[in-house]
Every structure is written in C-alpha cells, then in structure tokens.
Amino acid sequence: MSTPNRGDARKERILEVALKTFADNGFRGASIAEIADRCGLSQPGLLHHFPSKAALLAGVLEYRDRLDAERLGTDEQPRGPLALHQLVRAVEHNTQVPGLVRLFTVVTAEAVAADHPAHDWAVARYRHLEAWITRALDAGIADGTIRPGIDAVAVARQIMAMMDGLQLQWLLDPENIDMATLFRTHIEELLARIAVAAAD
Amino acid sequence: MSTPNRGDARKERILEVALKTFADNGFRGASIAEIADRCGLSQPGLLHHFPSKAALLAGVLEYRDRLDAERLGTDEQPRGPLALHQLVRAVEHNTQVPGLVRLFTVVTAEAVAADHPAHDWAVARYRHLEAWITRALDAGIADGTIRPGIDAVAVARQIMAMMDGLQLQWLLDPENIDMATLFRTHIEELLARIAVAAAD
C-alpha cells in the first residue's frame, strides 16, 4: 500500500466515516450533513472532496473493494478448490459485518436501474469476481484438481448468485438463516461434483 | 376466484395501475400523484383506498402474490422433481417480465430494514416459498422420487438463493447473463444429486 499524502489521508477519513454511516442507515437514510458533522467538517468542506452523496457512495464502494482486494491479496491467487474455500471463509467473515453486507445488498439491488450512481460499479464488480473465480477454476483444471469440461463461467455465476441470495435471506431473517453453513454445504456439494480429489 | 364487488373491482384497478407504475419506476421513483392520474382518480380518492405509498406497495405485493398463487394453483402441489421443474418454468417466465422482477428485487433488498413497509411481507414470502419447496421435496421422498436423508429446508433455501442471485445479475447485465439457463442447469445438477430417477 502506498503512503498517502495529507489530502489522501483526509479523503480516507471521510470514506471511513461515510462507510459506517451508509452501513448504519443505508444510502437513502444517510445525509451529507450527518457525515460532514461526524468528520468535523462543514458541508461545503465535505462537498469539496465529494460533490454529491452519490459521488461519496461511489467513493465508499471503490474504497471498500480496495480494502477487500488488499485483504485477499493480489499477487498469488488461490487455485481450484482452495479458491472456493476462500469464498466460504469470506461468507463466514460477512456474518460478522451485517451493516456492510446490508449496504452492498441494498445498493446493488438499487443499482439495477441503469441511471443509478452505483450501476457501473455493480456491473464491474460482478465481472471482476466472475473473472477471479473463473481463473481459479481454470487453474484448477490445469493443475488437475478440477475436472476438465466444466463451464467455469457458469459455475462462477452460480456461486456468486448463491452468495447474494443467501445474504438477502440472512439479512431479512438472521435468527433463522445460517448463511455460512448453507453456503459451505453448497460449495462442498459443488466440489463433490467438479473437484478431482477432496481438497481438505 | 370469488366475484369481486364494485369496491373490490375499483381497488383491483388501482392495484393493476400501481403495479405497472412501480415496475416501471421502482418504489422510490413512483408517485401517488402519477398513479392517481393514471387511474382517473384524485389523490384524496386514491388515498381513500390506500392511505400512503407504502400501503399501496404492500397492497400491490399481496395482490401480485395472489395472482402468482392462482397461476401456480393451490389444490394440487407438484411433488418431487416436478416441483423443481415448475420453478425452472417460473424463472423462464420471469425473463419476460423484467419490470416485475426488478420491482421484487429492489423492494426485497430495501425491505431488509426492519422498519421498511414491505419487511413483514418479504419475510413471510420467503417462509411461504420455503414451505412450498420443502413440502414438494418431502412428498418426493415419500413417493420415492427424491432420496431420503437430504436436508429439505436447506435445499429449499439454496434454491431460493440461486433464483434471487441470478435475478440480480440478470437485471444488472441482461445481455450477458442467461438467467433461465443458469437456473435450469443448477436444478438439473441438484436433481442429479438428490433425485432417485431422472424425471425428464
């Protein structure tokens, strides 16, 4: 990670506060005034960095994706079954951050409207994750841990759909829906079908 | 279907118009004024039947669920693999009604907030569909078309998650995401695991 200069540090502080505010109240429920107040800034001071609530949302989503990418690591991508186990751990981690999961779920659904400020972000995010999973499956085919002949792109899309759909049910009814276990068993059953040898 | 009286008929007309308006513009983008205008009613005339936009949304969602239930039929529930094939056909049908799918997707995601007007509807809707799928799987176990020993509730939740997650990807990127095929292949692979004999 590069060392931020003073302007970057202030921007990062704003993004941290905005992230928490959006996660607590959703995009619609959050106000620029509240975020500026929590940052110790005037509204014009905040709007100097981000000209609108939509721009601030876009900034938060990009910032959050960057943090996730740093956590996942970018140099060595896990291959084959290991990558799918990493997704299981990501879902387990998500059960600890319901506000953040809620932010992503609500904003992504709102973003199906082509004129939503997060539309392009959402489309790009799916393409990025799809490519990550597809590369992992292709690498698994290459190293003999995943059966050849599977449709890796289709499997990637189905895995992402399962993650999103379980998140939605869990957010609606967290007492009853064990998102982490439901996702883990789905991945285990998927691997029973597409993996050449058990990976764990 | 019971014969509606005059008041019911007017209410149904309002619901039809509101459904189309919400599907076109989303909940947030739709206005009571526009819906009243399209119904040929004054705003107070509309608000006599539904006291708020939220109440109108709740009415639309219940109305829509009732239409779906009538289409699915309530007397004879399909059993085992046939029920899952019926879900495949429902997803195929959904590709023809993107506005409606969008309404359900956006409203359900918004409804994860406990104070959202559609929260209880969303929770009840998942419980209802979960029960429908679970009953179908249990009936399949009873008549020998589904393997015993599966966790029917978990399978039901995973099927619903796949439907929702694929809808979201399809709405975001309809040119690239073939929701119907992705769901059908998921169900075929599921049946290869849990069905006793191929149903088709």
Residues A105 and A138 in one domain: yes
pTM: 0.86
**End residue of a domain, out of B52, B71, B90:** B71
Q: Are A70 and A1 in contact (CB under 8 A)?
A: yes
Expressed as residue numbers, the domain containing A17 is 1-75
What average pLDDT score do residues B103-110 get?
A: 86
Q: What is the CATH number of the domain that holds A27?
A: 1.10.10.60
A105 has a pLDDT exceeding 70: yes
**Cβ-Cβ contacts under 8 Å for B74 (sequence gap 6 or more):** none
Burial class (CB in 10 A: 0-12, 13-18, 19+), A200: exposed
Using 50, 70 and 90 to split pLDDT, how confident is the model at B31? confident
CB contact under 8 A, A123 and B164: no
Alpha helices by DSSP H, listed for A144-197, are: 152-172, 179-194
Residues B190 and B103 in one domain: yes
Specify the length of chain B in residues. Answer: 200
Average pLDDT of every residue of chain B: 88
Residue B140's pLDDT is what? 97
Residue B1's pLDDT is what? 46
Residues B126-175: tens digit of each pLDDT: 999 999 999 999 999 999 999 999 999 999 999 999 999 999 999 999 99
**End residue of a domain, out of B55, B71, B87:** B71
For A34, phi then psi, to 5°, come to -65, -45
CB contact under 8 A, B154 and A182: yes
Q: How many domains does chain B have?
A: 2
Q: Are A90 and A162 in contact (CB under 8 A)?
A: no
Residues A182 and A132 in one domain: yes
Residues A70 and A81 in one domain: no
Residue B63's pLDDT is what? 86
Residue B139's pLDDT is what? 96
CB contact under 8 A, B112 and A122: no
What average pLDDT score do residues A168-172 get?
A: 97
CB contact under 8 A, A186 and B106: no
Residue B66's pLDDT is what? 81
Residues A69 and A15 in one domain: yes
| CA–CA distances in Å: residue B44 to residues B32, B50, B56 | 10, 10, 13
The C-alpha torsion from B78 through B82 and B88 to B94, rounded to 10°, is: -30
ipTM over the 0.90 cut-off = no
Residues B51 and B103 in one domain: no
The closest alpha carbon to B179, from B93, B82, B115, belongs to B93
Q: Are A15 and A9 in contact (CB under 8 A)?
A: no
Residue B64's pLDDT is what? 82
Residues B80 and B43 in one domain: no
Distance CA A200, CA A194 (A): 14
Q: What is the CATH number of the domain that holds A161?
A: 1.10.357.10
- Amino acid of residue A62: E
- The DSSP secondary structure of A55-100, one letter per residue, reads HHHHHHHHHHHHHHHHHH-SSS---THHHHHHHHHHHHHHTT-HHH
Residues A71 and A128 in one domain: no
**Cβ-Cβ contacts under 8 Å for B171 (sequence gap 6 or more):** A112, B98, B101, B102, B105
Residues A80 and A68 in one domain: no
Q: Are B162 and A165 in contact (CB under 8 A)?
A: yes
**End residue of a domain, out of A57, A75, A93:** A75
Using 50, 70 and 90 to split pLDDT, how confident is the model at A1? very low
B40 has a pLDDT exceeding 90: yes
Residues B115 and B160 in one domain: yes
Residues A80 and A66 in one domain: no
B200 has a pLDDT exceeding 70: no
Residues A103 and A31 in one domain: no
Distance from CA of B13 to the nearest CA of A (A): 27
- Residue of chain A nearest B23, judged by CA positions: A113
